[in-house]
Chains A and B, each alone.
Chain A
Amino acid sequence: MSDTPILEVRDLCKRFPVRGKGPFAGKSWLAAVNAVSFRLDKGETLALVGESGCGKTTLARAAAMLQPPTSGSVRFEGSEITGLGNRSLKPLRRRVQMIFQDPYGSLNPRLPVGAIIAEPLLVHGLGDKAERRQKAVRLAEQVGLKAGDMSRYPHQFSGGQRQRIAIARAIALQPCLVIADEPVSALDVSIQSQILNLLRDLRDSRRLTYLFISHDLAVVRHFADRVAVMYLGRIVETAAAETLFDAPRHPYTRALIAAQPVIGRGKRTAAGCLSGDPPSPLDPPSGCPFHPRCPLAAALCRESRPELEGDSGHQVACHFKNEGGT
């Protein structure tokens, strides 16, 4: 662990201004990401999991400097990247790429596939036109598209093929870090595994590091080395994937794991299921943000918020992390 991590995020916060109702209501702030810290080592795959609206996507975009964070520090290969202007970020843009959830929205409908894949090369002035075209064809073939697809438009492809196009575009610049924001959740289950296999092959052949965002624990379990569970803008538990799934210590993680659909095991027990909706990030609960839904909640939880603690292998933010078995 003495190496510099590829990405190191410390106390990252991202708040959005929200206008109140009525003409005289003041502005309030929505804290989408709240004091999040994590590190990502070379070659590692870190999965961010959590419910919809817990801040996963915002965290990823803030870490990639697509939405500048409100406060906190993001270090890429040891150097601070927060507060940099677009021009100074350009070298970073070459090494960090994103894959988006919705392959229907992430491809410009007015550009043919060849141009889409070659665009990052064009933006960074790599190669001449013929070289870029050749490279785009190679990339397309690498992700399982045909050379003949290059002159077609995104709307002529299925969701899975579009995600392949997006992946080809993401690896065109030979990045070292790929931030994949729910790359398979918009796809059919049968297509999901193909795309995941493709991502895994690319990870092995190109030694990629992934920040992988998902709400699908089954996917995460098979894909990630390490998992960070987010709840209401904070990381509540982080551990190696096996540890987290075998011995979850935060009640929220346990509930998430228990909520997974399982084939052939009769009815799920109601005990593990969460009741209620996640609280509004506009008006977070006092103390531990999870206490209104937590089966272990006690008076302490309503008053003070537990910090993320533990050794570097397994960290939990819960007052009762050492108690309450499964």
Chain B
Amino acid sequence: MRGPMVDTADGMMALALKRFRRHRLAIAGAVVLAVLASLAATAPLIATILGLDWEAVDLLNRFAPSSAAHPLGTDELGRDLFIRLLYGGRISLLVGLTATVVAALIGTAIGLLAGFYGGRLDALLMRFTDSVIALPLLPLLIVLAAVDLDKLGLPSSLVQSQYVSLYRIIAIVALVGWTTVARLVRGAALTVRERDFVLSARGYGAGGFRIMTVHILPNLISPVIVATTLSVGNVILLESVLSFLGLGIQPPIPSWGNLLTNAQELIWTAPGLAMWPGMLIFITVIALNFLGDGLQDALDPKATD
């Protein structure tokens, strides 16, 4: 009575892959993201090949239209927009990925502890989660973005670094972004911990840590992956919003968000400066959402064939 099952060692992954392949939009999303990511990753290489520099100011050549030398033209300081977009993509994708991964790790740990141990620990952690959710996000972000890092006693090499705004925004987003995953994981852990294989693991003496990591976590990881994928898009948007408000990544380091901010006064003079970063944010977020939907279908354990 071996039903319609796959006869390979990695049956589960093969099934998921098969279901994922049927999701055309998700494939398209994955391809778009792969292209964007590899362009961003190879930005320095492309810059060398094209002989462009993201910091090179050329005041004689401001607002240049697209040409062979400057594929998408130049900005108000004569810097090449194409290369700045690629570098901006590095920053935006990096922030999106790192912040969500850190947030997912925090959320998974908190949700797992709450769901597995239950009782008072659960109540404590979940009320803490509720209070983080209840904090109004934007004012909080503004306050956190204004914190003087020197006074926090952080090493000055870090505080003086030009990338400090990057680290800061990753930390801020991770600190407020873990709540969704925590709730998700807690709910799933509550269900999984009642299954017989968990009871059986307890029966042969497995400890709490082992049960959580070997038996519970692998069985609830799919919704976490889906939620994380979907929230990368949100984080990229959040970074844009913060940068738009001047609280995110600080120029001259480009990010898609602050490229957009820069362009707001020039929207009539050089619409391309606003259009291109806006477009890239839009495309990335849409692609992430399609990918997330596809993963959701592919990893759903209830789905057959």
Contacts and interface: CB of A to CB of B under 8 A. Distances in A.
Interface of A: 61, 64, 66, 86, 89-90, 93-94, 96-98, 100-102, 105-112, 119-120, 123-124, 151-153, 155-159, 166, 169, 173, 188
A90 B205 contact: yes
Contacts of B301: 109
Given A93-B203, A119-B206, A123-B205, A106 B2 contact: no
11 contacts: A66-B199, A93-B204, A97-B204, A108-B215, A108-B219, A119-B204, A120-B204, A123-B201, A153-B9, A156-B7, A169-B204
Interface string B161-202: 000000000000000000000000000000000011101111
A190 B202 CA distance: 31
A123 B206 contact: yes
B18 interface: no
Interface in B1-60: 1-2, 5-7, 9, 11-12
A105 B197 contact: yes
A151 B9 contact: yes
Interface of B: 1-2, 5-7, 9, 11-12, 195-197, 199-207, 210, 214-215, 218-219, 301
Given A100-B196, A105-B195, A153-B12, A120 B205 contact: yes
A109 B199 contact: no
Contact of A107 (B11, B197, B204, B210): B197
B109 to A, nearest CB: 19
Contacts of A108: 197, 201, 214-215, 218-219
Contacts of A112: 9
A173 B219 contact: no
A156 B207 contact: no
Contacts of B9: 112, 151-153
Contacts of A159: 1
Contact of B196 (A96, A105, A158): A105
Contacts of B205: 89-90, 93-94, 120, 123-124
B11 A153 contact: yes
Given A98-B203, A108-B219, A157-B2, 16 more contacts: A66-B203, A93-B203, A100-B196, A102-B196, A106-B199, A107-B197, A110-B219, A111-B218, A119-B204, A123-B204, A124-B204, A151-B9, A156-B2, A159-B1, A166-B200, A169-B204
B1 A158 contact: yes
Nearest to B216: A108
Nearest to B221: A110
A98 B200 contact: yes
B6 A156 contact: yes
Contacts of A153: 9, 11-12
Contacts of B218: 108, 110-111
A109 B200 contact: no
A110 B221 CA distance: 11
A111 B210 CA distance: 13
The 10 closest A-B pairs by CB, nearest first: A93-B205, A110-B218, A106-B196, A120-B204, A105-B196, A108-B197, A158-B1, A98-B203, A100-B196, A151-B9
Contacts of B215: 108
A188 B1 CA distance: 10
Contacts of B203: 64, 66, 93, 96-98
Query: Which of B5, B199, B210 is most buried by chain A, counting CB atoms within 10 A of its CB?
Result: B199
A155 B11 contact: yes
A103 B207 CA distance: 22
A107 B199 CA distance: 10
Contacts of A89: 205
